[in-house]
């Protein structure tokens, strides 16, 4: 089954500096050589899905600057349809400033730029591409009303709607977003922000279900993932790797999960597939450069099965 995925979201240029440790307030540290790579949660997830074999359409916005032109060229190189990428004159493309320590931990500041100019009417103009899509995948680096419109159209077109709620709004998600989400994939920090309080992972997942989401997949980093539905909670084991850069692990997970669900995998198998993609992604520097191919992922899964 061909996985047809539409991604609505952000496109950024990542500027990454390896540092000995993440600096504190007022502290300056000397780091390694600057790495400039394509990023943005939406574009990352689109690339992740495309490299794993999906037919992907990306809906987003970039500036008319060099960063924007390079972003589109990079997406096209991965076979992604960028016909619905809006080019905004007079506004810079999105940029993320990222510091990564030797353990792969990161600190990120994002300047949204053109991403903040992706409006609900842009979704309406491009909504016909959802007619043949199996999955609609969204995040929160574009305006919330744009995300809400995308999810609403996705449900009308009978897509499975997925939301990676990052960055999570401090005030939680509005009901017009929650009511149209089939699958939500927060990490623990994002889940706490969405439910408004701290609690154990299992309780966080149940609290998100109580908000009205059908399936909650709580990503737990090196502890794997927790899958929650109304009638069950299932822990999915992680894959042990040595992390180099965790910047886009969540994006690798979301893109891979979209592909696996679109291909008809059972949910737990789909999450295991996504865990493997995330594990592979943290072994390389950069966001989009770290997204594994289907061949790399299948080799990784095969070796894991053989080893145990």
Tell me how far apart the alpha carbons of residues 192 and 186 are, in angstroms, rounded to a whole number: 9
* Residue 9 marked as a ligand binder: no
Q: Residue 271 corresponds to which tokens in the numbers above?
A: 């999450």
87 falls in which pLDDT band (50, 70, 90)? very high
Q: What is the pLDDT of residues 35-67, one digit of tens each?
A: 898 999 999 999 999 999 999 999 999 999 999
* Residue 247 marked as a ligand binder: yes
* Residue 192 marked as a ligand binder: no
Among the options 66, 203, 251, 269, which is catalytic?
A: 251
* Residue 132 marked as a ligand binder: no
pLDDT at 308: 41
Tell me how far apart the alpha carbons of residues 3 and 224 are, in angstroms, rounded to a whole number: 24
Average pLDDT for 98-127: 93
Q: Cis omega before residue 101 (within 30°)?
A: no
* Residue 298 marked as a ligand binder: no
**Mean pLDDT computed over every residue of the chain:** 93
CB atoms closer than 10 angstroms to residue 101: 18
Domains plus CATH for the chain? 4-9+41-66+118-305 (3.40.1190.20)
Tell me how far apart the alpha carbons of residues 261 and 273 are, in angstroms, rounded to a whole number: 10
184 pLDDT exceeds 80?
yes
Tell me how far apart the alpha carbons of residues 78 and 184 are, in angstroms, rounded to a whole number: 26
In the residue annotation, 65 being an active-site residue is answered as no
306 pLDDT exceeds 80?
no
* Residue 220 marked as a ligand binder: yes
């Amino acid at each position: 089954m061909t996985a047809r995925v539409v991604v609505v979201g952000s496109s950024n240029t990542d500027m990454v500096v390896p540092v000995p440790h993440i600096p504190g307030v007022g502290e300056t540290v000397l780091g390694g050589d600057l790495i400039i790579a394509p990023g943005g949660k939406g574009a990352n997830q689109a690339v992740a899905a495309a490299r794993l074999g999906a037919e992907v359409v990306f809906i987003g916005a970039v500036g008319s600057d060099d960063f924007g032109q390079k972003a589109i060229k990079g997406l096209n190189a991965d076979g992604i349809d960028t016909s619905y990428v809006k080019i905004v004159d007079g506004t810079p493309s999105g940029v993320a400033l990222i510091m990564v320590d030797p353990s792969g931990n990161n600190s990120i500041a994002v300047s949204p730029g053109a991403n903040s100019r992706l409006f609900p009417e842009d979704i309406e103009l491009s909504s016909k591409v959802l007619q043949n899509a199996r999955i609609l995948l969204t995040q929160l680096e574009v305006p919330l009303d744009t995300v809400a419109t995308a999810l609403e159209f996705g449900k009308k077109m009978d897509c499975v709607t997925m939301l990676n709620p990052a960055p999570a709004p401090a005030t939680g998600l509005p009901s017009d977003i929650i009511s149209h989400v089939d699958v939500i994939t927060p990490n623990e920090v994002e889940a706490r922000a969405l439910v408004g309080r701290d609690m154990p992972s299992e309780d966080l997942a149940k609290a998100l279900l109580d908000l009205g989401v059908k399936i909650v997949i709580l990503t737990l980093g090196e502890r794997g993932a927790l899958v929650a539905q109304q009638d069950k909670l299932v822990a999915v084991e992680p894959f042990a790797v040595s992390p180099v850069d965790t910047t886009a692990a969540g994006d690798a997970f979301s893109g891979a999960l979209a592909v696996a669900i679109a291909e008809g995998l059972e949910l737990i198998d789909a999450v295991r597939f996504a865990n493997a993609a995330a594990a592979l992604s943290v072994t390389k520097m950069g966001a989009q450069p770290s997204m594994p191919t289907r061949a790399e992922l299948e080799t990784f899964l095969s070796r894991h099965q053989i080893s145990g």
